[in-house]
Structure 1
């Protein structure tokens, strides 16, 4: 990464996907420009719907009056957005931060992810989480209860599809009859799997079976204590804790103390001091449109 404001830290950007930046026709232009500026990765999120009276408040600062950011009401498809970026770039990593894993059929999800990994010549990072909005589960016909166990089974099924020959899976939610699946990921044996989460059980799952943590900006002691859970669990599971990655997401937003590109720089210093090598900056909350987002990205890169 040639235009790195913090030595040793790889910077990524959220692709224009929601709110005022939700312009699928502009994704290719944005991706090319971001790669040209030296950013190391490009990311998408996942929002299925925004109910008028949601059962749950957005954990990143939702209130009864404003249960989620207004930007969430317009959200482009993550797979289409990432595929567009894959087609016009050659070096950036491409990832999800994060798909709501339990609402997807693992067979269909594996097909889409494998196709993306092949289309990008092995540049895909698969990011999965539990989400926070139960109406999204109801709308997709998936029970809200036992969503953690459902995510574990999604991970089991993805692993089987990516590495088995023939492929088969038998679980409480899905049964995959022994089958031939000729489509294989470009990355061997599979794309890296990163998991989101902000509670000890989520970090324990990362330590047991994932390649890294999709972290969000949080008080430094909490960031440290959660990461310790992942490292200790990995060691107990006989895995090398040193192989686990962290991608720290920073959402500059009015009222958070991080409201401009300049305010992001101290966050990058914290990331460096904590040994976090990858930072994702999401400009959706501060950019007026795609062109403005590119201007801000240029400031961040320089």
Structure 2
């Protein structure tokens, strides 16, 4: 079944990956059913650890008493989850929203992402962000300071590994000697790279060098205001802003004003009016288990 646009958008779904839905053995069944329902894309997130006393509060509503959603305490690997979904689907795109880019080695990351793109037949969307939890940086041996520059360097290194022949990169973080890289992505010249972020510098980076924005639901004036920064940066860099994708993530959750599947429809209308042609819904906060998530997914379409 091909995906059906909903309110002018391509509708996607987060794969079961964390909280009560963290069941790696159920990912294949869920992904196949989601594609059959008509969902156009399937997505994963990235959470490395859940410290008991974090230095930072979750920007989506964390408080000192509840610094982040309790669901974050159980989180399956994003690469394994996407590989499983790729193996049982044929048309749905698979993507990350988003990997905490600076904590990864570009050489190992390029190998994994290229393999995923080939395994999916060229359906991979690569998504990166800076993350918000400094303990994840400490745990992976990566400095918290300068993470924006490190993300830029990661993008440079990935570009070299995906397109160079031989591939090489020289920078303060990594030195990649001229090397043969026989494995190339299915998509040419590389998979699309989407970046998350909710600050003017993040949107400027998207305009300068990314293929699109991974946004989270927020009041529409902020969506349009931030996007205008990306548009201006793209124009200044000599790029066509119309070529940039806008992908919106919606997380129904108690106390947010979007508390059920029924509340998603008005958001889709706003997204379409703001220029978003791709939206995906994360059901982890409202579904009791994987079967319940599939029931809610059926209601969405």
Q: What is the rounded CA distance, in whole Å, between the counterparts of 2:76 and 2:90 in structure 1?
A: 23
| Secondary structure of the structure 2 residue equivalent to 1:269 | helix
| Secondary structure of the structure 2 residue equivalent to 1:13 | strand
2:121 paired residue number? 121
1:80 paired residue number? 80
Unaligned runs of 5+ in 2: none
Do 2:223 and 2:274's aligned partners in 1 also have CA atoms closer than 8 Å?
no
Do 2:3 and 2:38's aligned partners in 1 also have CA atoms closer than 8 Å?
yes
What TM-score do you get using the length of structure 1 for normalisation?
0.99
Do 1:3 and 1:37's aligned partners in 2 also have CA atoms closer than 8 Å?
no
2:184 paired residue number? 184
Aligned residues: 300
Deviation beyond 2 Å, 4+ runs, structure 1? 1-5
List per-residue Cα deviations over 1:166-219 (Å, max 9, x = no partner).
000000000000000000000000000000000000000000000000001011
Q: Does 1:89 align with 2:89?
A: yes
Q: What is the rounded CA distance, in whole Å, between the counterparts of 1:286 and 1:236 in structure 2?
A: 42
2:43 paired residue number? 43
List per-residue Cα deviations over 1:28-87 (Å, max 9, x = no partner).
000000000000000000000000000000000000000000000000000000000000
Q: What is the rounded CA distance, in whole Å, between the counterparts of 1:257 and 1:230 in structure 2?
A: 27
Q: Compute the RMSD of aligned alpha carbons.
A: 0.6
Unaligned runs of 5+ in 1: none
Give 1:1-302 correspondences, 5 Å limit.
1-6=2-7, 8-301=8-301
| Secondary structure of the structure 2 residue equivalent to 1:224 | helix
Q: 1:2 to 1:138 in 2, by over 3 A?
A: closer
